[in-house]
Amino acid sequence: MKKTGERTGWIFLLILLWVALIRIGGFSPLILPSPRDVLKALYEGFTQGNLGWQILISMGLVLTGLTAASVSALLFFLVSVSSRAGKSFIETLTIIFHPLAGIALLPVVILWFGTGALSIVFIILHSALWPMVTNLSAGYQSLPETYLMVGRNYELSKWRMSTKIILPGSLPYILAGLKISWSRSWRALISAEMIFGAVFKTGGVGWYIFSRRVFMDTPGMFAGITVVIIIGILMEDLFFGILEKKTVLKWGMSLES
Amino acid sequence: MRISLTVLLVLLLTVSCTGKHGDTVQLTIAEQYGLAYAPLQIAKEEGYISELLPETTVEWVKLGNTAAIREAILGGKVDMGFMGIPPFLIGWDKGMKWKIFTGLSKAELGLITWRDDILDLKDFGPEDKIALPQPGSIQHILLSMAAGKELGKSDAFDNRLVTMKHPDGMSALLSKRDVTAHFTSPPYVRMEMKEPGMHMILNGEEAMGGDFTFIVGAVTDTLHEKHPEVVEAVKDALAKAMVLIKQNPGKASAILKDEFSLDEKEIYTYLTDGSLRYSEDIEGVPDFLAFMKNSGYLKKTPKNLNEIIIGVDE
């Protein structure tokens, strides 16, 4: 609760700064619209436009991509713990693809998958997969040797070893990886949408921002950016916050504390 | 997130604090990429503007799309920009203080498809996508005009657009997969039509129901009020370049070939085959105004055209 209070306080301060900047700077509303204009544009986006749908579409795309990335990351991880060769293969893949920005892959993705939802999901998958793989293996390496020895003592199968000891033991790293993957894929989604145009009829939040930009609706543009920020805060503070509280914090194994 | 907000504010501050000119006049011109801007490129390469304005520092920036040009002008970084009439009108409608001072070119625009079963706008299915530079561009407004006339619904295609630069749109079209049709301009219209199986469903004149100027030049009210002579000089320089293109297309092509990294002969063809006509005339503004107001792209229209065009008397 203390954290929520602090967060709200800082945001409030930033909004005050925003208002002050407008008062002092005398900016044209085309460059820096007032919070009130932005709120109004936000309201109109929901009532007259399709902003509600667009948010759902964007969230749906990210969730699909993240789910696909989680499943693939788990498979990659299982391959990498299964043998020495598997490990070095996955490491090599990570080294090749991790630094590649999703947007750099766009031209190739357009050639392979066209400009529809599939391409966007693929870009999200790419953005989310490698941080997850990296974190999974970092979590594995950080496991105390004792845990593994206990497992071996019980003569656990590879499968049970993975699901009962390795994965729960590296949960703090997995959560950290999920967080990074989420924010990377959210960013990639917004950029990809701005390029690909409307998917599923109305398009998502990224398309909303882009279409506000081309029609020079600056308050609308800010409204779209606000939506992106709010979703980011909600995911970070609420979703991941609660998830951490329920698991790693409760078990006393958080990375931060 | 907090950091990005701070960075944003700092950026905005920087943008608003620069752009004030000193005693010597400084002129920054924004252009886009394409043969429709040929007189501008020739005036630049041959120094026509500096010849007429020896005291003025002329700077050129090349921007990717009209939204970027408007943003640069708003930020005080650019004084003059060249674009289609609709993006100009959108900026004016939203309160930008600027006017059209010259026409630059008329062009053959067209909606081209590879699908044999599509002969008309009504043949497009709900999954068929149309590639064009961006919503609000002249291609998009022309498409909406035609959709209004033929289908009775001007926003019929608005949720089926893919935003692509002309070269990307062309490769998407030629790959015959994701994009059903491409609304484009020279030289891409002719390049695409040369490919087997491509046909044009709609051209710009049909959509508009008449002749219109493709690219116009716009200048900020600030520059025009302070230095009308600068605006005049640019106009004269462009006129000189247009004369060169008309009377000596060979020389014009030679000047342009480096700019476009195209074959000189190819440029010569495009300059002389009638797909591009360079002229200072400004045509079609009233039609765009009427349509865009009726369809809700604009909230207001000028009482008198001289509010948006310099030197028009009414």
Length of chain B: 314
Q: Is the Cβ of A197 closer than 8 Å to some Cβ of chain B? A: yes
| Same fold: B24-107+214-307 with B110-208 | yes
Q: Is the Cβ of B159 closer than 8 Å to some Cβ of chain A? A: yes
Residue A84's contacts (CB-CB under 8 Å, 6 or more residues apart) are none
pLDDT at A1 (0 to 100): 55
Chain B contacts of A217, Cβ < 8 Å?
A: 94
The chain B residue lying nearest A200, using CA atoms, is B159
Name the nearest CA neighbour of A256 among A244, A246, A239, A238. A244
CATH dotted code for A33-249: 1.10.3720.10
The chain A residue lying nearest B74, using CA atoms, is A31
Q: Is the Cβ of B74 closer than 8 Å to some Cβ of chain A? A: yes
Q: Is the Cβ of A122 closer than 8 Å to some Cβ of chain B? A: no
Helices (H), chain B: 2-17, 38-45, 48-52, 66-74, 85-93, 138-151, 166-174, 188-194, 204-208, 221-226, 228-247, 249-260, 264-272, 285-294
pLDDT at B215 (0 to 100): 96
Chain B contacts of A114, Cβ < 8 Å?
A: 177-178
Chain A contacts of B139, Cβ < 8 Å?
A: none
- Does A183 have pLDDT greater than 80? yes
- Does B179 have pLDDT greater than 60? yes
Average pLDDT, chain B: 89
pLDDT at A103 (0 to 100): 77
- C-alpha of B276 from chain center: 13
At A146-177, the pLDDT tens digits run: 888 888 898 888 788 878 888 888 888 989 99
More confident residue, B4 or B200: B200
Give the mean model confidence (pLDDT) for residues B44-69. Answer: 90
Residue B216's contacts (CB-CB under 8 Å, 6 or more residues apart) are B82, B83, B84, B85, B88, B100, B102, B103, B104, B282
Give the mean model confidence (pLDDT) for residues A229-239. Answer: 89
Assigned token pair, B167 = 């070269």
pLDDT at B19 (0 to 100): 44
pLDDT at B7 (0 to 100): 57
Of the partner residues B13, B15, B161, the one whose CB lies closest to the CB of residue A198: B161
Phi and psi, residue B209, nearest 5°: 75, 35
Q: Is the Cβ of A24 closer than 8 Å to some Cβ of chain B? A: no
Asked if A58 contacts A41 with a C-beta cutoff of 8 angstroms, the reply is no
Q: List B257's β-bridge partners, or say none.
A: none
- Does B294 have pLDDT greater than 90? yes
Q: Do B74 and A28 make contact, defined as CB atoms within 8 angstroms?
A: yes
| Fold of domain B110-208 | D-Maltodextrin-Binding Protein; domain 2 (3.40.190)
Q: Do B178 and A116 make contact, defined as CB atoms within 8 angstroms?
A: yes
Domain extents in chain B: 24-107+214-307, 110-208
At B220-250, the pLDDT tens digits run: 999 999 999 999 999 999 999 999 999 999 9
Closest Cα in chain B, distance from residue A31 (Å):
7
Chain B contacts of A201, Cβ < 8 Å?
A: 159
At B92-118, the pLDDT tens digits run: 999 999 999 999 999 999 999 999 999
Dihedral (CA of A186, A187, A188, A192) sign: positive
Give the mean model confidence (pLDDT) for residues A84-106. Answer: 88
Name the nearest CA neighbour of B203 among B302, B121, B126. B121
pLDDT at B17 (0 to 100): 47
Length of chain A: 257
Beta-strand relationship, B57-62 and B161-163:
unpaired
pLDDT at B285 (0 to 100): 96
- Does B3 have pLDDT greater than 60? no
At A38-72, the pLDDT tens digits run: 999 999 999 988 899 999 999 999 999 999 999 99
Give the mean model confidence (pLDDT) for residues A111-128. Answer: 86
Average pLDDT, chain A: 87
Assigned token pair, A216 = 């020079």
- Does B136 have pLDDT greater than 70? yes
Which of the residue ranges A28-37, B207-216, B294-303 would you say has the lowest mean pLDDT? Answer: A28-37
Assigned token pair, A121 = 């999901």
Q: Do A196 and B162 make contact, defined as CB atoms within 8 angstroms?
A: yes
d(C-alpha B195, C-alpha B270), whole Å: 17
- Does B15 have pLDDT greater than 70? no
| Fold of domain B24-107+214-307 | D-Maltodextrin-Binding Protein; domain 2 (3.40.190)
Name the nearest CA neighbour of A127 among A204, A190, A81. A190
Closest Cα in chain A, distance from residue B240 (Å):
33
A198: pLDDT confidence band, cut at 50, 70 and 90? low
Report the C-alpha dihedral over residues A99, A101, A102, A107, rounded to 10 degrees. -110
pLDDT at A141 (0 to 100): 86
pLDDT at B220 (0 to 100): 96
Q: Do A215 and B160 make contact, defined as CB atoms within 8 angstroms?
A: no
Assigned token pair, B154 = 């001007």
Chain A contacts of B163, Cβ < 8 Å?
A: 194-197, 210
Q: The complex's ipTM?
A: 0.75
Interface of A with B in 224-243 (CB under 8 A): 229, 232-233
Q: Is the Cβ of B17 closer than 8 Å to some Cβ of chain A? A: no
Asked if B181 contacts B113 with a C-beta cutoff of 8 angstroms, the reply is yes
Percent of chain B residues past pLDDT 70, beyond the cut: 92
Q: Is the Cβ of A168 closer than 8 Å to some Cβ of chain B? A: no
Chain A contacts of B67, Cβ < 8 Å?
A: 213-214, 216
Q: Is the Cβ of B162 closer than 8 Å to some Cβ of chain A? A: yes
Which uninterrupted H or E stretch holds B130?
strand B129-132
Q: Is the Cβ of A198 closer than 8 Å to some Cβ of chain B? A: yes
